[in-house]
Structure 1
Amino acid sequence: MNSGFLPAALAGFGTGLSLIVAIGAQNAFVLRQGVRGQAVLAVVGICFVSDAVLIALGVAGLGAVVTAWPAALTVVGLAGGGFLLCYGALAARRALRPAGEALSVRGAAAGSVRTAVLTCLAMTWLNPHVYLDTVLLLGSVASDQGAMRWVFGAGAMLASLVWFTGLGYGARLLGGVLSRPAAWRVLDALVAATMLLMGGMLLARTL
């Protein structure tokens, strides 16, 4: 085995994980789907496959194309910011519902898998920071690895798989805590705050 294989893979894993674990709209959504037990496999799969595709594009050198099309990032930023504000408003509305409404984990199973999938796709691909962080930043760091750049990319992909799998399925451990409507309202309030803050910041930076 090449002596540079393991260091490159570990560097990719660490860099990828550092970019993914920050609390954001996508992570908040995955967490909520996990505690609800709704479309978890689909959501985790979308997050990982999307990251893997973007990381591969970055390692292949697509970062130069991204920086050459600032107008495209502006359009994505406006669409993504508006989407996050709308989702945040819906989460805030759920948080303000009377405690008597069905907010339990069991009751959430009837939710639409299609809606969860479309929402996850929108949160992933309508966020310009995904392209800047994954394609541009990871791609530029990978280029410094020379012949080991694809090993670095594989390490970053593994970090994405580990994180989203752990977040989505590990969230079920909170099922007992979130069996009470009041706890769900707190979670939805946190999700709303995250979405509204990120949506507002995204629009402010784009405009």
Structure 2
Amino acid sequence: MMKLPGTSMPMRCAARLLCAVPVALTVAAATGCGGAPTAPKQDEVFYLHGAGIIDRNFSYETYFPPLDRALTERTPRMVGVGVLDGDVRLSRPIDWYVRSADYSPQSRFISYQSPRQFLFSIFERIDDPQDPWPDLLRRYEKDLTTQGAQIISGRTPISTANAQGRSYFVRTKVAAKPPYEAFAHEILVRSHHRILLVQVVHQQNIDASVDEMMSALGSMIVY
């Protein structure tokens, strides 16, 4: 099984794309800041985990109301959450659920399943955030090459609410019976304190979900 670049975590979210087009990831900054996330009341937990509860005694998310967003014609209702122990905050559709997560040091990640047939995952890499962009990109690209992945397009500048990033569209072979190819958009996000890899894997045409993906990414605050 392939491992996620820069971590010891296997790529659990590989899924076959029937059709994929690189995302034009120019996203607007979202508002919201300040204060530690506050854990939701017991009756609010249903929309933070929904059917995807992994451990009923522990929540991988904390509620962050400043990033709540109302339903629009282009995006579902968005709920503000803090993840990775509050080091990352974002708006995500209310009907996403936590598919898998691990907050172990140096391998933290959280992966969401969307009912629109894609996975949205956030992985923390172990790179030094003080390294220059060229060094970070070369290291990440070497990780991909070592794993046998093919970069279809890359180094596209993007932004989140408070951080900069570079977007890649990659193809890789997945060890399965029978084996198959998976396509994913992978976005390196850099703040002053950490490097993240946001990975989006599709099973259907990306055009159907691009607005909610971009809204989630554009709202992301990285501490």
Q: Give the structure-2-normalised TM-score.
A: 0.23
Return the index of the structure with the highest Cα Rg.
1
Q: Give the structure-1-normalised TM-score.
A: 0.24
Greater helix proportion: 1
Task: Determine which structure has greater relative contact order: mean sequence separation of CA pairs < 8 Å that are 6+ residues apart, divided by chain length.
Answer: 1
Greater strand proportion: 2
